[in-house]
């Protein structure tokens, strides 16, 4: 021990919260040394799986002849529904409508009917093509555009939100507009496809290494399929090569198939889909048909609005019910509706079952809200930004009553006014708006457009029980720390942020904290890493665990050195005990020698939230994240081709845990949202075959598609309204809707061909073809009538 002399300039720890730290695996990603499941050394004797997929969209299975498949070189076994030892179901919704293997009928083109287990992956895939299957084809529903939301089949119960009397308000409004928007889906296009490696253990045990966002759900469903208790199944994932929601439920089928084969043959089994199989057989972002009617006054104040959000669920429920719910939760975006009626309709089609995708229906709800704003703006002849600001919720602290959402939750933390005002100034909106008008007046073929769109995103799972997390923290006798929690790493930097939280609690350098693989054997019953809640939930759980250990260390030090516990202070890499100091490592070693417990399980559940779906009321979200984006585009009116000239984003992450990581999330979210709304077009032919099933036919944004000028900033004054982890805010999903600014900038450019007199009603994705068609339609509508 040494005498302590106060040092006001004492060094800080390296890598605590609110410091810019690189992603813990960034150097491994660049060097190619990050270990994904397909990089793991295969156990001796590993078998491989190839899937046999349906080649009709809807039909009964008359005859399934697999004799040639079984006799093909290298084939060890062929699995069908009859080989499932438990229940032939991997439905996450409890609807029992999502089989591991088709049984008696197929409901979409590409549905797995059987699996080939062979010595090599090549042998398994080649053998799968030898099946002879006879179908009795049935009528297939491929799209939702012509379906009736009242009469046609829905896969889950719809949700209705109501406040006030929308119908009466619309009928009495001085002005009314009614319309429909078609909004396309999106493929996740993660770099690492669906993959699982199952390794059998003793008795009924199996370990599954799986690229999944929900290890606990995968564990429970694999156990369900095997007919064993959950304790027999361990699921582990160190990292994913992207997820974006596509591995929240869709990973379960591959995991189940690998586990069935592994237990049956007592050998390790790997399932890895190639890109075509992955895009064909796994769900996507839901496409929506959004019907709306709005009543408003001559100034542009919205008086009442009525929405129907019809979504293409695909053949089974999956998460379509909750996705439709969240679309309704965000149909207000940042706007107060005095009277509102909104209803979802998760419609059945004979396509792959759609699933979670970054934003989980929220972005689709916001796009509907922004279309309504555009309709009002064009009707009253004002800049759409003026109409947006006119209809904002009351700002935080305002005494007004314009703060109640359609689901009757008060918006208490609204800061969108300040964000928009700051972005208007930093993006020089007013000057550029004038310059764009002048440019368009003097340019015959190239037209420019600009839009500034806001975002309000609710943070929490609307499934209340999902708002919990666990963590496990060990402090070893040498002072090093082992951290494990229930969240999964898919490139978003979650593990790093949680490690920073633990380092901050112990006041030790970040490199003293070991990040380990997520496993159900250490932290049970966790929520999927989704809903942007990973850092909020797991950070709090890890903080709880670390604080338990720190409290024990403080009590031990106080007793050993005979000082009050409030005189035990954790300083950077050391601890002050009274007027003396000891290194953190030495204190830990002494605590170990005195048999002090140096391990703790932490837990956290989100407070305040509650939701009554039957009544359509509740405190659905713990808080809201905000942001705004301003984008400018140039459109060739002869071809419909366009470029994004500039994008400016100001986003709210509260007191950011790691601004470097958060800025990357905002940049990536914007680009992904822009891709969804512009170039990423899913297309099924008349027989229900997905034709955009590979990089050659499906256009994600390239590096060359990024804005020529791209300015991204985080608010430096915001903090979470509620006591979140270090008053930070979620950043996974909220930035994606910033891509709306590009869609509306394109709409603004298109509108210029008709002197901004007609709302372009530009559907998404706004491909060059769709932009060109909108231009031609507006020119025809604006032309003098003969």
Q: Are strands 481-485 and 599-605 parallel, antiparallel or unpaired?
A: unpaired
Nearest of 28, 357, 46, 77 to residue 195 by alpha carbon: 46
The neighbouring-strand residues paired with 523 are none
Q: Where are the beta strands (DSSP E) in 476-541?
A: 481-485, 513-515, 518-519
Distance CA(84)–CA(203), nearest Å, equals 17
- The sign of the CA dihedral 761, 765, 771, 774 is negative
Angle, vertex CA 721, rays to CA 716 and CA 726, nearest 5: 65
| Phi, psi (rounded to 5 degrees) for 94 | 75, 15
Q: How far is CA 207 from the centre of its chain?
A: 27
* DSSP state at residue 505: H
Are the CB atoms for 416 and 456 separated by under 8 Å? yes
Nearest of 715, 711, 744 to residue 385 by alpha carbon: 744
Neighbour tally for 726: CB within 10 Å: 22
| Phi, psi (rounded to 5 degrees) for 111 | -70, 130
Q: Are strands 599-605 and 610-612 parallel, antiparallel or unpaired?
A: unpaired
**Helices (DSSP H) in 330-397: which residue ranges?**
362-380, 384-390
Q: Where are the beta strands (DSSP E) in 380-490?
A: 446-459, 468-475, 481-485
SS3 state at 70: helix
Radius of gyration, CA atoms only, the chain: 28
Neighbour tally for 465: CB within 10 Å: 9
SS3 state at 347: strand
Distance CA(748)–CA(384), nearest Å, equals 9
Give, to the nearest 10 degrees, the angle between helix 534-561 and helix 494-506.
20
Distance CA(741)–CA(54), nearest Å, equals 40
Q: Are strands 233-237 and 206-210 parallel, antiparallel or unpaired?
A: parallel
Nearest of 325, 403, 306 to residue 364 by alpha carbon: 325
Are the CB atoms for 304 and 164 separated by under 8 Å? yes
End-to-end CA distance of the chain: 97
Exactly one of 504, 733, 776, 781 is catalytic; name it: 733
CA dist list (Å): 360 to 319, 372, 506: 9, 21, 36
The neighbouring-strand residues paired with 604 are 469
**Helices (DSSP H) in 287-337: which residue ranges?**
320-329
**Helices (DSSP H) in 567-642: which residue ranges?**
584-593
Please provide the size of the chain in residues. Answer: 786
Q: Are strands 302-314 and 340-348 parallel, antiparallel or unpaired?
A: parallel
Helices (H) and strands (E) in the chain, counts: 18, 30
Distance CA(606)–CA(458), nearest Å, equals 13
Name every residue whose Cβ is closer than 8 Å to that of residue 703 and which is 6 or more positions away in sequence. none
The arrangement of strands across the sheet holding 599-605 comes to: 513-515, 481-485, 468-475, 599-605
CA dist list (Å): 279 to 111, 353, 765: 12, 12, 18
733 is catalytic: yes
CA dist list (Å): 323 to 157, 162, 417: 12, 18, 28
Distance CA(604)–CA(232), nearest Å, equals 26
Give me the active site residues, please.
733
């Amino acid at each position: 021990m040494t005498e302590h002399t106060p040092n006001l300039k004492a060094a800080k720890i390296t890598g605590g919260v609110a410091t810019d730290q690189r992603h813990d695996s960034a150097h491994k990603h660049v060097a190619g040394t990050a270990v994904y499941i397909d990089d793991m050394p295969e156990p001796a004797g590993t078998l491989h799986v190839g899937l046999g997929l349906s080649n009709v969209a809807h039909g009964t299975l008359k005859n399934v002849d697999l004799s040639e498949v079984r006799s093909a070189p290298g084939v060890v076994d062929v699995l069908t529904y009859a080989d499932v030892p438990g229940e032939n179901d991997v439905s996450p919704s409890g609807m029992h409508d999502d089989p591991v293997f088709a049984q008696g009928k197929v409901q979409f083109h590409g549905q797995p009917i059987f699996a080939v287990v062979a010595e090599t992956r090549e042998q398994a895939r080649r053998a799968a093509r030898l099946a002879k299957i006879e179908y009795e084809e049935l009528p297939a529903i491929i799209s939702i555009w012509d379906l009736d939301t009242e009469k046609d089949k829905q896969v889950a119960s719809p949700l209705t939100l109501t406040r006030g009397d929308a119908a009466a308000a619309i009928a009495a409004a001085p002005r009314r507009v009614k319309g429909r928007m078609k909004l396309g889906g999106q493929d996740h296009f993660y770099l690492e496809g669906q993959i699982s490696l199952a390794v059998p253990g003793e008795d009924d045990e199996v370990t599954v290494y799986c690229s999944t966002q929900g290890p606990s759900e995968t564990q429970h469903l694999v156990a369900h399929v095997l007919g064993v208790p959950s304790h027999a199944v361990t699921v582990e994932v160190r990292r994913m090569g992207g997820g974006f929601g596509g591995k929240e439920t869709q990973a379960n089928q591959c995991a189940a198939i690998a586990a069935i084969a592994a237990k049956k043959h007592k050998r390790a089994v790997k399932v890895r889909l190639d890109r075509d199989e992955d895009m064909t057989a796994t769900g996507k972002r839901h496409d929506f048909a959004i019907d709306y009617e709005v009543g408003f006054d001559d100034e542009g104040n919205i008086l009442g609005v009525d929405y129907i959000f019809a979504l293409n669920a695909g053949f089974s429920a999956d998460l379509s019910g909750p996705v439709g719910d969240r679309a309704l939760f965000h149909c207000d975006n940042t706007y107060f509706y005095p009277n509102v009626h909104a209803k979802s309709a998760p419609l059945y089609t004979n396509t792959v079952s759609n699933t979670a995708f970054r934003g989980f229906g929220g972005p689709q709800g916001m796009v509907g809200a922004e279309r309504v704003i555009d309709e009002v703006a064009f009707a009253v002849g004002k800049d759409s930004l003026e109409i947006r600001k006119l209809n904002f919720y009351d700002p935080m602290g305002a005494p007004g009553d314009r703060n109640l959402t359609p689901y009757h939750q008060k918006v208490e933390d609204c800061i969108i006014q300040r964000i928009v005002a700051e972005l208007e100034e930093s993006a020089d909106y007013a000057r550029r708006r004038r310059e764009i008008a002048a440019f368009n007046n003097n340019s015959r073929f190239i037209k420019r457009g600009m839009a500034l769109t806001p975002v309000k995103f609710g943070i929490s799972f609307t499934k209340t029980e999902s708002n919990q997390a666990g963590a496990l923290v060990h402090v070893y006798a040498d002072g090093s720390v082992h951290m494990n929690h229930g969240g999964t790493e898919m490139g978003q930097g979650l593990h790093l942020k949680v490690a920073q939280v633990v380092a901050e609690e112990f006041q030790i350098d970040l490199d003293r904290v070991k990040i380990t693989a997520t496993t159900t054997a250490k932290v049970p019953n966790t929520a999927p890493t989704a809903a942007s809640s990973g850092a909020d939930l797991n950070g709090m759980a890890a903080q709880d665990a670390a604080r338990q250990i720190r409290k024990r260390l403080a009590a031990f030090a106080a007793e050993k050195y005979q000082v009050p516990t409030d005189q035990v202070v954790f300083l950077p890499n050391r601890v002050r005990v009274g007027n003396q100091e000891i290194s953190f490592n030495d204190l830990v070693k002494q605590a170990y020698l005195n048999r002090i417990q140096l391990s703790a399980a932490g837990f956290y559940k989100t407070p305040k939230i509650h939701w009554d779906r039957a009544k359509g009321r509740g405190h659905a979200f713990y808080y809201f994240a905000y942001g705004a984006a301003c984008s400018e585009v140039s459109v060739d009116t002869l071809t419909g081709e366009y470029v994004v000239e500039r994008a400016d984003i100001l986003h709210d992450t509260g007191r950011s845990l790691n601004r470097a990581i958060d800025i990357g999330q905002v940049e990536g979210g914007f680009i992904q949202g822009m891709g969804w709304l512009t170039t990423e077009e899913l297309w099924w032919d008349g027989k229900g075959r997905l034709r955009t099933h590979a990089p050659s036919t499906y256009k994600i944004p390239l590096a060359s598609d990024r804005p020529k000028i791209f300015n991204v900033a985080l608010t430096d004054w915001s903090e979470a309204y509620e006591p979140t982890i270090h008053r930070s805010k979620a950043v996974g999903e909220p930035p994606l809707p910033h891509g709306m600014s590009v869609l509306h900038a394109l709409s603004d450019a298109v509108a210029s061909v008709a002197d901004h007199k007609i709302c372009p009603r530009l559907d998404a994705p706004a491909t060059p073809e769709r932009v060109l068609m909108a231009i031609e339609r507006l020119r025809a509508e604006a032309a003098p009538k003969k």
